[in-house]
Amino acid sequence: MALFDYTIKQLEEKVHNGEITVEELVNASYERIHEVDDEVHAFLTLNEENAKAQAKELDKQADKTAALFGMPSGIKDNIVTKSLRTTCASQFLDNFHDPLYNATVVQKLSEQKAVTIGKLNMDEFAMGSSNENSSYEPTRNPWNTNYVPGGSSGGSAAAVAAGEVLFALGSDTGGSIRQPAAFCGVVGLKPTYGRVSRFGLVAFASSLDQIGPLTRTVEDNARVLEVIAGHDGMDSTSADIEVPAYTEALTNDVKGLKIAVPKEYLSEGVAPEVKASVMEALKVYESLGATWEEVSLPHSKYAVATYYLLSSSEASANLARFDGVRYGVRSENADNMIDMFKKSRSEGFGEEVKRRIMLGTFALSSGYYDAYYKKAQKVRTLIKQDFEQIFQDYDVVIGPTTPTPAFKVGEKVDDPLTMYANDILTIPVNLAGVPGISIPCGFAKEGLPIGLQIIGKHFDEATVYRTAHAYEQATDHHKQRPQLGGAK
């Protein structure tokens, strides 16, 4: 069987009815991985022996009503998993074989009987937009393996797009779920900051990071968020707010929905075919009874600079713990303790991680703090206020997820500023802390997917899902599959 062909709901029904076993589901996942992952490189570590043993145990259980019973899943490799290696795609953590505990989201999936298939490739310490910064090997886009899958959750998006797992978890600091979801033609949600616990997520920028699901359909995405969302006493930034039944919001009814379309999101730098796909999507919404108007997010032009100052500053502080003593691979070439710190970090970290640590340390340094970090925090407030003002009159904000479709492997890796600019449409959502989703809305002339971004009010993922689901059901972009492996 091909996981491609079914939603989580359909497979759950088949398991409940005895039409298929969990063991068959898990075997199908590994068969697909062994068939195509030499081309895609989505996985860094497989959990094959444990997953197959778990599947056999689940098949013995009489009660099969857990929300994700037996569903094969992948976990981004910066989310810790007990007894399963967690590397953040960095040589520094190559020896981190057992973190000793599960992240809260992993524990919640376990309680609902999901099966962890393995750990997914990513940009090192989640710093990147193409997955080329993995210290192991770059992940490839399943639609065309000459192209990047996006980043930093590139392995998560590629694994779902390639049919290797039913769903995956990623993390989003400046677009790291939504951008690869757009590039790989899947559904990716960054929840409201605080909606999902960050306990057990290796920190990059603590005020921006958020864990979220990547799936093939909006309904699957909503089902996974229902499981992983909620307050967690182990995370002081976790919001103590009730989690709605998101799947109940998928009514296909968007009559009267008021959509804001920022002119800045369709201006210079956005590829014509991306703009055309977004305009076509807006026509679909009009046909469904929604209305849209052009608005302005005037401070969005400062978002990239603001983000890289703030996120790099937080990364500089968060990554100080990786010193070869408390964490990480220790250099064997050191003569003394200070030398060991320096060499462990210089040998263990990749170029992009070093670049951001240096940028952040500079921004936080005496004499520059007010000029850079403090000013960036003030601009962040202005960006947040832009969204608050728009949401007084509109239900959602809609635009492209990325300015262009996926680019070729190697095309931008030597030009960091061009790579950073690729996140210009996703970064404001993280700075404001609001939820955003990317769903497929078309294809570029090379056959590469294009993503539509839907942004909602704080803790209003239900409206975001309703808006996304109505469009998905009115189109067939989500039904397309990459020609990969036996699917050729």
Q: Which amino acid is at 203?
A: A
Q: In 3D, which of 172, 161, 201, 207 has the Cα closest to residue 482?
A: 161
pLDDT at 416: 80
Q: Is the dihedral of CA 26, 31, 37, 39 positive or negative?
A: negative
Q: Which of 16, 22, 473 is nearest to 217 (CA)?
A: 473
Pick from 237, 364, 261, 383: nearest CA to 310: 364
Question: What is residue 208's DSSP assignment?
Answer: T
- Ramachandran region of residue 88, left (φ > 0), alpha (ψ -120 to 50) or beta? left
pLDDT averaged over the chain?
Answer: 95
Q: What is the pLDDT of residues 17-26, one digit of tens each?
A: 999 999 999 9
Environment class of 351 (CB within 10 Å of its CB; exposed 0-12, middle 13-18, buried 19+):
exposed
Per DSSP, 88 falls in state T
In tens, the pLDDT along 376-427 reads 999 999 999 999 999 999 999 999 999 999 999 998 888 887 788 889 999 9
pLDDT digits (tens, 9 = 90+) for 215-245: 999 999 999 999 999 999 999 999 999 999 9
Given a cut of 80, whether residue 4 has pLDDT beyond it is no
Phi, psi dihedral angles at 118 (to 5 degrees): 170, -175
CA–CA dist 73, 227 (Å, integer): 13
**Quick one: tokens of 188?**
């990716």
Question: In this predicted structure, what is the pLDDT of residue 486?
Answer: 60
> Which one of the listed residues 29, 76, 129, 153 is annotated catalytic?
76
More confident position, 327 or 404: 404
SS3 assignment, position 288:
coil
Please name the residue that has the structure tokens 């996703």. Answer: 426
pLDDT, residue 73, reads: 98
Per-residue pLDDT averaged across 292-308, rounded? Answer: 96
Order of strands across the sheet that contains 396-400: 43-46, 115-120, 72-76, 167-172, 210-215, 187-190, 436-443, 449-455, 396-400, 258-262, 291-295
Which amino acid type is present at position 385?
A: Q
82 in catalytic set? no
152 is catalytic: yes
Catalytic-role residue among 73, 90, 130, 152? 152
Residue 38 has pLDDT above 70, yes or no: yes
pLDDT band at 89 (very low <50, low <70, confident <90, very high): very high
Residue with tokens 């008021």: 258
pLDDT in the model for residue 417: 76
Angle between helices 461-474 and 218-228 (to 10 degrees): 160
**For residue 333, what pLDDT band results from cuts at 50, 70 and 90?**
confident
Please state, in angstroms and rounded to a whole number, the distance separating the CA atoms of residues 45 and 235: 27
Helices assigned H by DSSP within 333-426: 337-348, 351-364, 375-390, 416-421
Cβ burial of 256 (10 Å; 0-12, 13-18, 19+) is exposed
345-352, long-range: CB within 8 Å, 24+ apart, which pairs? 345/92, 347/91, 348/90, 348/91, 348/92, 348/322, 348/324, 349/90, 349/92, 349/124, 349/319, 349/322, 350/90, 350/91, 350/124, 350/133, 350/135, 352/123, 352/124, 352/127, 352/128, 352/133, 352/416
Identity of the amino acid at 167 = F
Residue 393 tokens read as 């009159």
pLDDT digits 0-9 by tens, 149-201: 999 999 999 999 999 999 999 999 999 999 999 999 999 999 999 999 999 99
The type of residue at 377 is Q
- Annotated catalytic residue, options 73, 90, 135, 176: 176
Report the alpha-carbon distance of residue 114 to residue 256 in Å, rounded: 38
H or E stretch including 428?
A: helix 427-432
Read off the tokens for 342. Answer: 């320096």
3-state SS string over 100-112? Answer: CCCCHHHHHHHHC
Decide if pLDDT at 487 tops 70: no
Verify whether residue 313 is a known catalytic residue: no
pLDDT for 62: 93
β-pairing verdict for 291-295 and 258-262: parallel
Copy the structure tokens of residue 331: 């250099």
Mean pLDDT of 438-457: 96
Tokens representing 192? Answer: 């409201």
| pLDDT above 70: residue 488 | no
